[in-house]
Chain A
Amino acid sequence: MPKPNILFLMTDQQQAGTLDSGSPCRTPHLDRLAREGTRFINAHTVNAICSPTRASLFTGVYPSQHGMVDCAHAVPEYRAELRAYLEMWSQRLAAHGYQMGYFGKWHVERSENLERFGFGEYDVDGSGSSGYPAHRRSLGLPPQPRDYVTRYAVPHPGYPDYLLYGAYDEPVQGTRAWYDYEHGIDFVRRAARTDRPWCAFVSSGWPGDPHSVPLAYYQRYDPAEIPVPPSFHDPLADRPNLYRRQRAEWRGMSWLDHARTIACYYARVTLLDEQTGRILRALEETGQADNTIVVYFNDHGIMMGAHGLHSLGVFPFEEGYRIPFIIKWPGQGVAGQLCDQPVNTLDLAPTLLEMTGCGPLAQGEGRSLAPLLRGESPADWPDDSFAEFHGQRYYWTQRLVWAGRYKYVFNAFDFDELYDLRADPYEMRNLAGDPGHQGVLEEMVGRMWTHIRAIGDENMLHSQYGSLRFAPLGPGA
């Protein structure tokens, strides 16, 4: 029985909501993929920013365990460094004879020598050796888009111009999304002519910021028809002061500016969805669809107007933490399944290694999703999910726990948050201070410490000291 191929399509800052039925965002190719596989609708990232999450994806452990707790390109090594002794599933696949290709955004660690991590072929975004600048030149395009029909950057003294949204008149082939997928398609076609199994990892920086997009796609969305996010007017009164402080960045924007931002974002998702369609078609045309596992995944989400916020980071809201996640497993997985079991970033490594029969990594805090993909309901499936946030240049200590309908956020820098996601899906009411929810709060805090003890997170476990003993319950409870 030949080993199955893996087509791993990874995106950046894509909200799970873009795939939900009823979303104005149009993703026909992803909708079709979901009908052919399982969509996990209760999937969360383990961290709100790129490098910590991506390193967790490859190593199967939490950021406090792998060491890359902040973005590789933003902080010095002593603040965030991947522990070199941890094996990655990509290395394991390569050791079992898989041809491995990686195209697009890496941001897992700093060296960007991907052959060390099992990828024999790669073109990484942002590295000096990427072929993307030459590609744009070959199309007669300038290094960056110039002909903006609409564009907006929030003015702020002392900060550089940083585009929030924009639409420019260029063909889709000039986009990095098209380029990375074109690489993936080329790899898939070449691999079809060999008799070795392969893994193609296409890691687009789309729909991540800046939210700028070719005009032809922007024109498919009318800002006048973009619905106001249900939590847009949330006063955030009973939430950490920091969220209101960060929201002030956007206070000068009209609703039209917010709507255009969201329209550009949806346009980027739609453009990306078309690339997904292209590569899935290439899979079919080369006769490999029946023997290729397709994984559609994303590192973390983005606020996109929820609670009046943009961007991401210390905001613990579902728009940042709930991620799109689809696996199509030909021959073994159930088709058209919506699975609501709690799953997260750490489950990818054991799942891929079980599906390909390459054996588990020595370390891992997740579980293989293979039983769920087969339509089973294991009685011992974990009933909660955990995430860590360590900061983003600025330090913040935050931990998140999801269990059933509740979500608890421990903020070491302010008061905590507790949400009832069933009664309050848009997280407008913080129940952490509500006497009627004290029992729920304590149970969630207990779950948090259970995860922390299992991980061995020293910094949290040592918060026994004097003035730091302010969690509702301590680690020994």
Chain B
Amino acid sequence: MMTVNRPNILILMTDQQQASTIDPCSPCLTPHLDALAGEGMLFSRAYTCNAICSPTRASLMTGVLPHLHGQHDCTHVVSELHAKYDPGLPTWAQRLEEAGYQTSYFGKWHVERTEKLDDYGWQRYNLAGKSYGEYRRSLGLPAHEHLISSKSLGGRGYRDTVLYGVTDEPESASRPYYIFSQAIEHLGRLEPGRPWCMFVSTPEPHDEYIAHTAYRDLYDAATLVPPASWNDNLADKPDVLKRMQGVFAGMSWEEVAEATACYYATCSLIDAQVGRIVAALRQRGELENTVIIYTADHGDMMGAHGLFTKGITPYEEVYRVPLLIRAPGNAQAGTVCERVVESCGLASTILDLASCERLPNQHFRSHTPLLRDANDPAWEDFCFSEFYGQRFAFTQYLLWEKRFKLVLNAFAYDELYDLKSDPAELHNLALLPRYQPIKERLLKRMWRAIEETGDTCMFNSHYWSLRFFDLGPNCNQES
């Protein structure tokens, strides 16, 4: 499949980007990613293992689920009570480093709190924190972007925060531009003759949804169509979502469309940076021996079910992430793979493509069998994800199996969706008696995943007040 034994590997990761933004025929304009997709494989059913940044990023680096790495919530906003990363877990970047790769990391980390990336396999790194601030000062710009229009979220006792807006600053002042510039510049500093791995990670298009005018002007908000679930009254869904919906209840569709246009604009700005780095690789003659991967940690509700951002929302808009793997020499170039895959399988895929040994005890599958055959008959359409909260703590498990999706909510009632007949997830089938057999089959599969991935805390939840699932953890042992 690969023409090169140890190719260069470029991983481009954004934050909170919906998979639908790079789907063919999406209203979001991403010409450079479209071109890359023509040379690679686009995965249309790639799911993240968690709905928020740090748990997912830690899983991506280690190849294990959050219950094993301990980073259950975001590094920067909770005490260690809820988010304590296990520094002893090996990372694939360390493996690449051992194999002689030159490793570098640019942009948002948020995997763990020390931010000493050389302990985790990244020899050179720039997290674009203070340095981005200095860059803005060198351009004569203040710390915060100047906005020519904006809308804020209010609420009594809550700080005013911008939800969306437009800035008239030049593209070259933006953080994605800066981060990609750092990466492109570093290409020139690498030793020839040794392979390299570079990870470029933008905090965008995560809210606040601030668009640059040149990109905002590409969109006419009036032409944007509400998501099919925009008016979902959430009657058959957990009540906490109604509380969340209430935060945004004052917004009209016009305002949601404007937020969406700003969001798409930022995706387009990031796409332009992808174009820059691809051009730099082409100019250096390295395009033919570089694997390019594009993904995001998770998505964004962006108005679906009347909700925004992400968290306890188990819906496709949050869990389905962009995943594009362009491996030179791949005969499947230009294919869309529709099989259910885990985005964090990249922890094994990257090592496979680099001809390195995989990390031990991985919880996610490598994508390489599908890179060989997008319709591999041996591939199981299955994905298991965990969510433990976001400031507020919850326990939620998600399981995809072919067309069905089961969501176990240990804080309310469960959800079950048939994604083939109900892609907008409007109808929760979990409480319908005729779906009980399917629900039980998926529940058994869930307990098997919990047992096989070593989550003894959950597997031993026998105490009476914890026995609210239809079948308990031993259901796979009983005949």
A residues neighboring B (CB under 8 Å): 64, 67, 69, 74-76, 78-80, 154, 156-160, 162, 164, 209, 240-242, 245-246, 248-249, 310-315, 390-397, 412-415, 449, 457-460, 462-471, 473-477
B residues neighboring A (CB under 8 Å): 70, 72-73, 77-82, 84, 86, 153, 155-159, 161, 163, 207, 238-240, 242-244, 246-248, 307-311, 313, 388-395, 410-413, 447, 457-458, 460-475, 478
CA distance A458 to B393 in the complex (A): 13
Smallest CB-CB A-B distances: 4 pairs:
A477-B157, A158-B472, A474-B157, A158-B475
Number of A-B contacts (CB under 8 A): 199
Known: A154-B464, A413-B411, A467-B311. A75 touches B395 (CB 8 A): no
B266 to chain A, nearest CB (A): 16
CA distance A395 to B312 in the complex (A): 12
- Does the CB pair B79–A459 fall under 8 Å? yes
Known: A391-B393, A394-B410. A469 touches B158 (CB 8 A): yes
B213 to chain A, nearest CB (A): 24
CA distance A245 to B408 in the complex (A): 12
A106 to chain B, nearest CB (A): 18
- Does the CB pair A458–B84 fall under 8 Å? no
- Does the CB pair A242–B81 fall under 8 Å? no
CA distance A462 to B81 in the complex (A): 14
CA distance A392 to B390 in the complex (A): 17
- Does the CB pair A245–B392 fall under 8 Å? no
- Does the CB pair B392–A415 fall under 8 Å? no
CA distance A457 to B392 in the complex (A): 12
7 residue pairs A–B, Cβ–Cβ below 8 Å: A69-B81, A162-B464, A209-B464, A392-B466, A394-B461, A467-B313, A474-B159
Contacts of A449 in B (CB 8 A): 157
- Which of A241, A248, A468, A476 meets B159, CB within 8 Å? A476
Contacts of B86 in A (CB 8 A): 78
- Which of A162, A240, A393 meets B239, CB within 8 Å? A240
Contacts of B458 in A (CB 8 A): 393
CA distance A460 to B313 in the complex (A): 19
CA distance A384 to B260 in the complex (A): 45
A153 to chain B, nearest CB (A): 10
B269 to chain A, nearest CB (A): 21
Contacts of B395 in A (CB 8 A): 391, 393-395
- Does the CB pair A245–B391 fall under 8 Å? no
Known: A158-B447, A466-B247. A474 touches B158 (CB 8 A): yes
Does more than half of chain B's interface fall in helix, strand or loop, or is it mixed?
A: loop
- Does the CB pair B412–A467 fall under 8 Å? no
- Does the CB pair B474–A159 fall under 8 Å? yes
Known: A74-B457, A394-B395. A468 touches B411 (CB 8 A): no
Does more than half of chain A's interface fall in helix, strand or loop, or is it mixed?
A: loop
Contacts of A157 in B (CB 8 A): 470-472, 475, 478
- Does the CB pair A467–B308 fall under 8 Å? yes
CA distance A156 to B81 in the complex (A): 33
- Does the CB pair A464–B311 fall under 8 Å? no
Contacts of A246 in B (CB 8 A): 465, 467-468
- Does the CB pair A310–B464 fall under 8 Å? yes
- Does the CB pair A314–B465 fall under 8 Å? yes
- Does the CB pair A413–B84 fall under 8 Å? no
Contacts of B81 in A (CB 8 A): 64, 67, 69, 79-80, 390, 459
A246 to chain B, nearest CB (A): 5
With A76-B457, A158-B472, A468-B247 known, 18 other A-B pairs at CB within 8 A are: A79-B457, A240-B239, A240-B411, A241-B239, A246-B465, A310-B464, A313-B466, A314-B465, A393-B460, A393-B463, A395-B389, A414-B411, A458-B79, A465-B391, A466-B311, A467-B248, A468-B391, A469-B153
- Does the CB pair B78–A458 fall under 8 Å? yes
Q: In the complex, what residue of chain A is closest to B387 when comparing beta carbons? A: A395
Interface centre among A154, A240, A467 (most CB of B within 10 A): A467
- Does the CB pair A460–B466 fall under 8 Å? no
CA distance A397 to B79 in the complex (A): 14
- Does the CB pair A397–B478 fall under 8 Å? no
A398 to chain B, nearest CB (A): 9
- Which of B392, B412, B463 meets A392, CB within 8 Å? B463
A447 to chain B, nearest CB (A): 13
Known: A249-B468, A466-B153. A414 touches B238 (CB 8 A): yes
CA distance A461 to B275 in the complex (A): 41
Contacts of A67 in B (CB 8 A): 80-81
CA distance A459 to B81 in the complex (A): 9
Contacts of A64 in B (CB 8 A): 79, 81
A445 to chain B, nearest CB (A): 8
Known: A311-B465, A414-B412. A465 touches B390 (CB 8 A): yes
CA distance A464 to B309 in the complex (A): 13
CA distance A395 to B394 in the complex (A): 5
CA distance A62 to B410 in the complex (A): 24
